[in-house]
Each structure stands twice: as C-alpha cells, then as structure tokens.
Chains A and B, each alone.
Chain A
C-alpha cells in the first residue's frame, strides 16, 4: 500500500523554537507539497518541490522554509515558531509534472504556545 508518512501527528512547541515537520513518501514521486489547513480557509499551499533540491514558493511561504535532499523526503521548517503558525500541516505527493492526483499524509497538528 503506497504511503505518505508524516513523522508527527501532534506537536506542541514554544514561541521562538525551531520546528521540523518531516514527510516521507514511498512511491518514487517527483513532486511533493506542503499545505496548511485552517478552519474557514481551506488548504493553502506553503511550498512545493518538483524534484530533489528544487523548491518553489506557494501562496503563503513567509515564516517557512523547506528542504528536499532526497527524493522521498520533504521537510518543512519553521525557523522561529509563532502562535499564528498553530495549524494542521498536510504533506502530499504526486508522480510528476502533468500528473494531477495528490496522495496525502495523515497530517501534523502543530500547536505553538
């Protein structure tokens, strides 16, 4: 069964801490995405990556960075967490450019105190 695995389902961090959210896919997919989901706002794209070491900003990249050193792993980094980054974070992947359907992980719910 193909999978997108997010390392932490629930995290609680303090303001100013550096936070790493990890996402691993076992489908040899080229493209990977990070979204955040907030009530009433739906899913908003933070960053995406077409391939290893490639990244592009989504609609709300401020306060975030990403790393894609290996094809299967896409990390979202909050350099200095703030309370307004409390949210559900969803990682997704797909085969490659031109492909359409995303496979999602189960999500990581982050609370910043």
Chain B
C-alpha cells in the first residue's frame, strides 16, 4: 500500500538548532499533512499543504512540497526541548478518503 517514508528515522540536535525532516510518497495526492506525536500519545495535526502549494509557514514550522519529486520537508526553526517528539507525514490517496501515514522521524532536542 502507498505509504510515506520519512527521512531520517531519528534526529538528535541541540536547542536552538534547526531540524529538517523529509517525506517521500508514491502516488498523486490532493494534499500532504504533518503530525506530531509525543511519546505514547495520540497524534496532533501541525500543518497541511495542498498539492498546488509549494511552501507554507506556521510559526516556527516551514513545510515545502515538490510534487514532481513526490517529496515534502518539514523545517522546525530554533528548536526547543519541548519539540522532542515523533513527526509523521500523511497523504491522501488521490480520489480516495484514506489518509496514509509514513513511518515517522523521531526528533530529540537536547537542552
């Protein structure tokens, strides 16, 4: 089944540094979303980018989308220890209502 693949699987940085996570997917999409999951909890929606958009910002988050390469990136600027979590991309299969998640990137931000 279609699934996004996040890269890297794990990322460790110091507070204040930027964190970049990448997502690749396989088929045409209507939109791509990023979610965050704190350890052992449910997922929380962060940002959605539509297939006709190339870049979107929300606070310290910047998302880019390249539909020709079927890839997206999530940049967290000036990271904080509280950003420590797993981050997932999710895509909707074109012409379906199914939202398919990737395998996630585990981000550790050290104080």
Task: Give chain A's interface residues, CB within 8 Å of chain B.
Answer: 4, 31, 33, 35, 40-45, 48, 50, 58-59, 88, 90, 92, 97, 100-107, 109
Contact = CB atoms under 8 A, between A and B. Distances in A.
Interface of B: 1, 3-4, 30-31, 33, 35, 40-45, 48, 88, 90, 92, 97-104
A58 B1 CA distance: 10
A101 B103 CA distance: 18
Contacts of B97: 31, 48, 50, 97
A107 B40 contact: yes
B21 to A, nearest CB: 14
B40 A101 contact: no
A42 B30 CA distance: 21
Contact of A42 (B33, B45, B48, B101): B101
B91 to A, nearest CB: 10
B98 A48 contact: yes
Closest 8 CB pairs of A and B: A104-B42, A42-B103, A43-B101, A59-B1, A104-B43, A106-B42, A101-B45, A42-B101
A102 B100 contact: no
Contacts of B33: 100-101
A107 B31 CA distance: 25
Given A100-B31, A100-B48, A42 B3 contact: yes
Contact of B48 (A48, A90, A101): A101
14 contacts: A40-B103, A42-B3, A42-B88, A42-B104, A88-B40, A92-B42, A100-B31, A100-B99, A101-B45, A102-B35, A102-B43, A102-B45, A104-B35, A107-B40
A100 B98 contact: no
